[in-house]
């Protein structure tokens, strides 16, 4: 079979059209990748040394507040005492929510409709269980971030985190 000049031109034009289309579409496809500022927010490192026992702080991770609490021995004991409580809306042991008993790290967004619960400041209401109180619809959380009174359907979320050493943590 003999290749004609016309066939060669068709194949060449098709190849050029394919390359041109790919070159034109690449910027559009590449624009779907996360930007550098979004990638930078994907994890947050925090020095825990300045946080005193009993103190609560709020940091931002992925645009959401994250509550970090250096719990007192009394708060740890209260959280552990309620581990087997059948009245918990979303039963979960305190040990399953923390990597180290002294430190509680939870996303500070109510699991009902996304409000930010009160309780990070000493002047805020902490609710009956010493944790957080959501002013929007009245959900109450305990010192382990477990929902004790609804309408929130589940506990405060625990973000992925790892301890880099005794007093440094990476969230995300």
Extents of the domains making up the chain: 5-33, 38-171
- Largest Cα separation within the chain, whole Å, is 90
pLDDT, position 41: 64
pLDDT, position 19: 93
- Across the chain, mean pLDDT equals 85
pLDDT, position 40: 63
Which CATH class for the 38-171 domain? mainly beta
pLDDT band at 15; cut points 50, 70, 90: very high
DSSP 28-92: HHHTTSPPHHHHHTT-EEEE-TTPPTT-EEEEEETTEEEEEEE--HHHHHHHHHTTT-TT-SS--
**Mean pLDDT along residues 107-117:** 85
- The answer to which of 33-47, 73-87, 111-125 has the lowest mean pLDDT is 33-47
pLDDT, one tens digit per residue, over 33-72 is: 877 776 666 788 888 889 888 889 998 888 889 999 999 9
pLDDT band at 135; cut points 50, 70, 90: confident
CB 106 within 8 A of CB 119: no
**Distance separating alpha carbons of residues 133 and 126, to the nearest angstrom:** 6
pLDDT band at 18; cut points 50, 70, 90: very high
Question: How crowded is residue 97: how many other Cβ atoms within 10 Å of its Cβ?
Answer: 18
pTM listed for this prediction: 0.73
pLDDT, position 148: 85
Nearest to 163 by CA among 72, 37, 38, 49: 49
pLDDT, one tens digit per residue, over 162-171 is: 999 888 998 8
| Residue 55 tokens, joined | 């103190």
| Residue 127 tokens, joined | 């609710």
Annotated active-site residue 137? The verdict is yes
Q: Which of 121, 128, 137, 154 is catalytic?
A: 137
């Amino acid at each position: 079979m003999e290749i004609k000049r016309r066939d060669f031109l068709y194949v060449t034009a098709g190849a050029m059209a394919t390359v041109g289309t790919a070159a034109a579409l690449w910027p559009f496809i590449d624009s779907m990748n996360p930007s550098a500022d979004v990638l930078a927010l994907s994890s947050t490192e925090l020095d825990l040394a300045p946080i005193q026992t009993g103190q609560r702080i709020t940091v931002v991770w992925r645009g959401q507040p994250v509550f970090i609490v250096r719990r007192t021995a009394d708060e740890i004991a209260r959280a552990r005492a309620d581990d087997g409580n059948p009245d918990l809306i979303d039963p979960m042991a305190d040990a399953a929510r923390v990597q180290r008993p002294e430190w509680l790290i939870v996303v500070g967004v109510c699991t009902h409709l996304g409000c930010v619960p009160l309780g990070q400041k000493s002047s805020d209401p902490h609710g009956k269980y010493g944790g957080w109180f959501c002013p929007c619809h009245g959900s109450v959380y305990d010192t382990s971030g477990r929902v004790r009174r609804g309408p929130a359907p589940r506990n405060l979320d625990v973000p992925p985190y790892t301890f880099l050493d005794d007093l440094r943590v990476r969230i995300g």
